[in-house]
Structure 1
């Protein structure tokens, strides 16, 4: 049996109790579907790349370029990773070239657009701020004012998925 705290560790005990009640009454999915009626339609790596590039152009024009944005089957939520930002540096001739890549867990292929946006914003913010500090979360909220709500709701979705499976199948 999954543990409700797997994705909700650190939240108030009263809130976790409310979520446990929704799980026990099998109403968590209903609550999520009411707020987020359908998954996004950005299923391909090309569509994901274009979406992230649009976000970057809107909020972070001066940051480094992105060479790749893909859904990655190897990223496992169980390992506490939803996405990854990597910077690859290579010497070419006498110059050091760096490439930024973003990999999004494939679990996001079937989630609502706000959840995908939250993880994309999170990984884009790492282009400027490497650590999860106050400046990092301020940048996330600049790009997505409801960042913290969408992060929490994503955790609820992952909790639902652990107990009952995918919400939109």
Structure 2
């Protein structure tokens, strides 16, 4: 493996440490010990219930989300683990806007904390469009250990890619 694309912005010593753990086969053990809980969102309805529970707890007064679903077309290599889109449509003389939230299907088999981190990230975009200080403050409000879980999610994605390139497992099919 010629690099760890999900860890590009971290210190070289940390990247080397993760690379060493990958080569020694210790990353899966680390992640399993730290995140033993799996989620039970296997379809779009369950994902919608999961997202709405978090939204209703933290963002009661925000705009409604009209569509929530897992998406096979999101490609993690293009940094799209989830998306929040704001669709505007003209209806008569009014402009109606609808929020849509999509989560990559790769998270159907991920630990619950990783799915929650993606959902929190995309929900934060309902209030804050840019990745600014207010955005990350909102993420940390909804998930206090947000930054650590984001890093571990990147380690998880690195492990999936590493295993796929080594022929150990295959990543879920991604439509491009």
Q: TM-score range by the shorter chain?
A: over 0.9
SS in 2 for 1:98: strand
CA distance in 2, matches of 1:2, 1:101: 36
Q: Which residue in the other structure is 2:113 paired with?
A: 114
RMSD: 1.4
SS in 1 for 2:7: coil
Q: Which residue in the other structure is 1:138 paired with?
A: 137
Q: Which residue in the other structure is 1:7 paired with?
A: 6
Q: Which residue in the other structure is 1:92 paired with?
A: 91
CA distance in 1, matches of 2:160, 2:2: 10
Deviations 1:102-121, CA, capped at 9 Å, x for gaps: 01011111101110000000
User: What does residue range 47-62 of structure 1 map to in structure 2 within 5 Å?
Assistant: 47-62=46-61
Q: Which residue in the other structure is 1:33 paired with?
A: 32
Structure 2's unaligned 5+ residue stretches are: 171-176
Alignment size in residue pairs: 166
The offset of 1:63, in angstroms, is 0.7
TM score, norm. by length of structure 1: 0.94
The offset of 1:91, in angstroms, is 1.4
CA distance in 1, matches of 2:55, 2:7: 29
Contact 1:2–1:162 (8 Å) recurs in 2: no
CA distance in 2, matches of 1:90, 1:80: 27
CA distance in 2, matches of 1:143, 1:151: 13
TM score, norm. by length of structure 2: 0.90
Structure 1 residue runs of 4 or more that deviate by more than 4 Å after TM superposition:
none
Contact 1:2–1:163 (8 Å) recurs in 2: no
